Amino acid sequence: MSAKNEVTADENQEEKFKKDLALIEAALYVAGRPLDTKTLGYIIGSRSKKRVQQLARALIEKYRQLETPLEVLELEDERFVLQLKTEFSARVRKLAVRPLLSDGPLRTLAYIAYRQPIVQKQVVDARGAHAYGHIRQLAEMGLIERKSDGRNKILRVTEFFSDYFGLSRDIKVMKRQLKKTFNELMKKPLSSDEEYDFNES
Amino acid sequence: MSAKNEVTADENQEEKFKKDLALIEAALYVAGRPLDTKTLGYIIGSRSKKRVQQLARALIEKYRQLETPLEVLELEDERFVLQLKTEFSARVRKLAVRPLLSDGPLRTLAYIAYRQPIVQKQVVDARGAHAYGHIRQLAEMGLIERKSDGRNKILRVTEFFSDYFGLSRDIKVMKRQLKKTFNELMKKPLSSDEEYDFNES
Amino acid sequence: MTETNVNKPFYFRPPWNILFDLQLLERLNPWDINLSFLLLSFLDEMEKRDEIDFRASGMALGSSSTVYLMKSELLLELEKAPLAPEPPSDFIPPPLVLPLRYELTTTTIQNLLEALDNALKTEKLFVLKASARTEIIPPAGVIPTLSAYLMEMEEQMDRMMKKIVALANKGKIVSFSKLAHGLEKLEQIRSFIVLLFLAQKNRVTLWQEENSDEVFVTINGAQ
């Protein structure tokens, strides 16, 4: 093989890498949820998990180096997700199309996730009677599931919840992750919408 | 003012520019639809259209230079949008799994679009009492707007609606488009997702 | 000092002074006071001394009732359910922050138009129902239209009556679903209105069974 051909082969490989990287990025952008290596492999037409991981990790690095409010994360179960960095959420969440959960249901959800599996009555005791409405809403959105156990209803979060929040599907691991998140959240309270300074500049 | 102070002021300005650029990017990402300069100004806390345009155009340039499947465009009506480049759509759109709306609200939305401007009560008469909930949801999602006219509430679809479905923002034109497409599609339904070729490359 | 002691009535001395010194009484635990002993010895002492003092007896009685009151209040206090211990305060985590992600949705213009098709179909139904409603109750003052309407209704009622009689003659139970069988929705609604008119004229009786949507028709008297 001539030197020229080798260069071309390298170039081709580089081209292919770039193209695949772009496809992975496009896939993560369109999905708006964590994707596993199989799905990503399907998009780039490769069955090699290693190849997908290599590409996705290169994407993580690319985003890390760019000054961008977006980030690509690798989750514990080898899934990847593209999302907005949390510190930007408060400023732009109003623009999100999907009606997002308000504070109350989010608190109830956090409580259930942290205490799961938990009896519905206990949630209501801790969060007040309006928690019934939250529980219904959360179940409708597929974030929690209710199972009857005699007269009680046992609540726990779903795999969709784990995916949505980029948390582990393993309850124990998830609880550890949650604890960490809560600690961070309590240190640095979210700025609310009211904080916008419209007189600035 | 000393030279050192000037440098600091410049640095501050640069920092501010970067921060605002990130906010514009975050806003366009989360919205997933074209945003006008007013909305973007609201996000960065500035009333200056010039400033917003300057930032948004810098973002266009930034994306142009990156090798990314995403692009930022300036539309004719001075709006800006972050979107997936068309050449990537076919490869990844299968990853979209969730509808914008479930059946009921979508029907109510279609009805409002077709009959707009329409009194809320009329919508409820035609669609049933559950339409109240649909209307609230549609308004929350920014797909319709409600204006009070005495005791009545007049409903019409928003520009976001037009943008989402690629229809004109001019009500008359939009209705004609709906009618025309309606006749065409209902006679000869388009084939759905199966059309995409996932075995490509 | 001695003089005052001498001048003081005997009951100002212990143990009876409890009954005559309210301040002292309030300082004591009522359950430590043996009222029967106090009162009996007080009476004995009075008899012994031959100093019958009704005022003093009245005061002693008043004080003893106060002691009883104090005792019963204490008892009631015991009756009260003990205060529930403060529930251990559970850790209520802060609200989870939803990650914001863009997500392409699957709804297309075709979905929208199919939804429109559906909405328009049901709209027709609603509009027709509404027009049927307005037909049946014409606005007051439109007498000529009203009489024309009623004339037409008379004819329709006769037709419906014949249908009912025919069914009944076959020995069948007449139900609305049989009468409306094979009819378009609008016609079904019209038929039902005619039935209502017949019932109103007392020519038929409409009845339903519990937990059933079916309306049954019985012919009234001989037609």
pLDDT at C62: 83
pLDDT of residue C132: 53
Closest partner CB to C113 (pick from B32, B128, B181): B181
Element (H, E) at C200: helix C185-200
If you average pLDDT over residues C107-135, what whole number do you get?
A: 74
Cβ distance of A93 and B43 shorter than 8 Å: no
Asked if A97 is an interface residue toward chain B (Cβ–Cβ < 8 A), one would say: yes
Contact residues on chain B for A96, CB-CB shorter than 8 A = 30-31
The mean-pLDDT minimum among B87-91, B157-161, C63-67 falls in C63-67
Read off the pLDDT band of A38 (50, 70, 90): very high
pLDDT at position B84 is 95
What pLDDT band is residue A93 in, cutting at 50, 70 and 90? confident
* Helix pair A49-65, A3-31: axis angle to 10 deg: 80
- Residues C114-132 have a mean pLDDT of 73
* Cα atoms in the 13 Å half-sphere on the side-chain side of A26: 25
Provide the percentage of residues in chain C whose pLDDT is more than 70.
Answer: 75
A201 touches B51 (CB < 8 A): yes
Give yes or no: residues A69 and A11 share one domain. yes
Interface of A with B in 36-75 (CB under 8 A): 39, 42-43, 45, 66-70
Can you read off the two tokens belonging to residue C20?
Answer: 């005559």
β-bridge mates for residue A48, sequence order: none
Secondary structure of C153-180 as H, E, C letters: HHHHHHHHHHHHHHHHHCCCCEEHHHHC
pLDDT tens figures, A96-114 = 876 567 778 888 999 999 9
Residue type, B174: M
B158 in Cβ contact with B143 (< 8 Å): yes
At position A159, the amino acid (one-letter code) is E
Query: What's the rounded mean pLDDT across residues B82-109?
Result: 90
- Judge whether residue B193 has pLDDT over 50: no
Q: With a cut of 50, say whether residue B5 has pLDDT above it.
A: yes
H/E/C letters for each residue in B121-179?
HHHHHHHCCCHHHHHHHHHHCCCEEEEEECCEEEEEECHHHHHHHCCCCCHHHHHHHHH
pLDDT in the model for residue C81: 63
Q: Which of A29, A103, A164 sits opposite C102 (nearest CB)?
A: A29
Q: Looking at C12-139, list the stretches that DSSP marks H as alpha helix, in order from N- to C-terminal side.
A: 22-27, 35-49, 54-79, 109-136
B180 with B109, same domain?
Answer: yes
Spatial distance between the Cα atoms of B26 and B121, rounded to a whole number of angstroms: 38
So what's the pLDDT on residue B187? 66
Rounded to whole angstroms, how far apart are CA atoms A171 and A157? 9
| Measured distance CA(B31)–CA(C102) in Å, rounded | 7
Q: Over chain B, what HEC string results?
A: CCHHHHHHHHHHHHHHHHHHHHHHHHHHHHHCCCECHHHHHHHHCCCCHHHHHHHHHHHHHHHHHCCCCEEEEECCCCCEEEEECHHHHHHHHHHCCCCCCCHHHHHHHHHHHHHCCEEHHHHHHHHCCCHHHHHHHHHHCCCEEEEEECCEEEEEECHHHHHHHCCCCCHHHHHHHHHHHHHHHHHCCCCCHHHCCCCCC
The residue that leads in pLDDT, A189 or C94, is C94
Q: Which of C107, C105, C126 is nearest to B110 (CA)?
A: C107
Tally of CB atoms within 10 A around B121: 12
B116 vs C214: which has the higher pLDDT = B116
Contacts with C17 (C-beta within 8 Å, 6 or more apart), sequence order: C11, C24
Which carries the bigger pLDDT value, residue B88 or residue C32?
B88
C101 phi, psi to nearest 5 deg: -135, 145
| Residue A171 forms part of a structural domain | yes
Cβ neighbours of C96 in A, within 8 Å: 106, 109-110, 113, 165, 181
Residue C124 pLDDT exceeds 80: no
User: Cβ separation of C106 and B95 shorter than 8 Å?
Assistant: no
Residue A131, domain CATH: 1.10.10.10
Hey, which chains touch B, using 3+ CB pairs under 8 Å? A, C
**Chain B partners of A199 at a C-beta cutoff of 8 Å?**
45
Considering only the beta carbons, identify the residue of B32, B111, B165 that sits closest to C119.
B111
- Shared-domain flag, residues A29 and A79: yes
Which residue in C87, C93, C100 is closest to A182 by CB distance?
C93
Residue B81 phi/psi, 5-degree rounding, is -140, 140
Confirm or reject contact between B163 and chain A (CB < 8 A): no
Q: Are residues A107 and A177 both part of a single domain?
A: yes
Residue C196 is inside which H or E element, if any?
helix C185-200
Q: Give me the residues of C, 101-140, that contact A with CB < 8 A.
A: 101-104
**Taking CB atoms and an 8 Å limit, are B99 and C113 in contact across chains?**
no
Per the CB < 8 Å rule, is A201 touching B142? no
Long-range contacts from A91-94, C-beta under 8 angstroms, 24+ separation: A91/A191, A91/A196, A91/B23, A91/B26, A91/B27, A91/B43, A92/B23, A92/B26, A92/B27, A92/B30, A92/B31, A92/B43, A92/C100, A93/B30, A93/C98, A93/C100, A94/A193
What are the tokens at B145?
């707007």
Q: Measure the CA–CA gap between C180 and C166, rounded to whole angstroms.
A: 14
CA distance A118 to A138: 15
**Confidence (pLDDT) at A5:** 62
For residue C143, is it left (φ>0), alpha (ψ between -120 and 50) or beta? alpha
Residues of C in Cβ contact (< 8 Å) with B97: 106
Biggest CA–CA distance in chain B, Å, is 75
Q: Which residues have CB under 8 Å from B17's CB, separation 6+? A: B55, B58
Closest residue of chain C to B183, computed from CA coordinates: C113
Highest-scoring range by mean pLDDT, A14-28, B134-148, C52-66, C160-174? A14-28
Q: Is C116 within 8 Å of B107 when comparing Cβ atoms? A: yes
Pairing of strands B144-149, B152-157: antiparallel
Lowest mean pLDDT among B179-188, B191-200, C112-121: B191-200
Work out whether strand A79-84 and strand A70-74 pair parallel, antiparallel, or are unpaired.
antiparallel
Band of the pLDDT at B4, cuts 50, 70, 90? Answer: low
Mean pLDDT for B38-46 is 95
**Do the domain assignments include residue B91?**
no
Which residue is associated with the tokens 């801790």? A126
Instruction: Let me know whether A27 and A70 are in one domain.
Output: yes
Same domain flag for B13 and B71? yes
A91 falls within a domain: no
Mean pLDDT to the nearest integer, B18-31: 96
* DSSP state string for A68-120: -SEEEEE-TTSEEEEEE-HHHHHHHGGG-SSPPP-HHHHHHHHHHHHH-SEEH
The number of folded domains in chain A is 2
Average pLDDT over residues A54-61: 97
With CA atoms as reference, the chain A residue closest to C95 would be: A107
pLDDT at site C150: 63
One domain, residues A110 and A172? yes
**Coil, helix or strand for C13?**
coil
Tokens of A117: 């599996």
Q: Determine, for residues B198 and A95 on separate chains, whether the beta-carbon distance falls below 8 Å.
A: no
- The rounded percent of chain B whose pLDDT value lies above 90 is 51
Q: Is residue B191 part of a domain?
A: no
Work out the end-to-end distance of chain A between its first and last CA atoms, rounded to an integer number of angstroms. Answer: 62
Pick from B182, B187, B190 the residue to mutate for testing the C interface (most C CBs within 10 Å): B182
Same domain for A142 and A178, yes or no, is yes
- Does residue A148 lie within any of the structural domains? yes
Distance CA C202, CA A117 (A): 64
pLDDT tens-digit readout, C79-88: 666 666 655 5
**CB-based contact (8 Å) between A141 and chain B?**
no
Q: How far is CA C126 from CA A200, B123, C45, in A?
A: 53, 11, 100
Mean pLDDT within A62-84: 92
Interchain contact, A114 vs C101, CB within 8 Å = no
**Residue A200 within a domain:** no
Which of A23, A51, A84 finishes a domain? A84
Judged by CB atoms closer than 8 Å, whether chains meet at B70 and A18 is answered as no
- Least confident stretch, A20-24, A84-88, B61-65, C155-159: C155-159
Do the beta carbons of residue B28 and residue A84 sit within 8 Å? no
Asked if the structure places residue B59 within a domain, the reply is yes
Claim to verify: residue A65 and residue A124 sit in the same structural domain: no
Q: Looking at the predicted complex, does its ipTM rise above 0.85?
A: no
Residue A10 has pLDDT above 80, yes or no: no
Poorest-pLDDT segment among A104-118, B91-105, C183-197: C183-197
Contacting partners of chain C (3+ CB pairs under 8 A) = A, B
Omega into B34 within 30° of 0, i.e. cis?
Answer: no
What distance in Å separates the CA atoms of residue B84 and residue B96, rounded to the nearest whole number?
A: 13
Structural domain span for residue B28: 3-84
Most confident of A130-134, B24-28, B142-146, C91-95: B24-28
Pairing of strands A144-149, A79-84: unpaired
Shared-domain flag, residues A112 and A80: no
Max mean pLDDT among B34-38, B134-138, B183-187, C20-24 falls in: B34-38
More confident residue, B5 or C208: C208
* Same domain? B29 vs B58: yes
Mean pLDDT, to the nearest integer, of B112-134?
Answer: 90
Question: What global pTM score does this model have?
Answer: 0.61
| Same structural domain, B7 and B60 | yes
Question: H helices of chain A, where?
Answer: 3-31, 37-44, 49-65, 86-92, 103-115, 120-127, 131-140, 159-165, 171-187
Residue A115 is assigned to a structural domain of this protein: yes
Single-letter residue type at C156: Q
The residue among B54, B34, B26 whose CA lies nearest residue B164 is: B34
Chain A touching partners, 3 or more CB pairs below 8 A? B, C
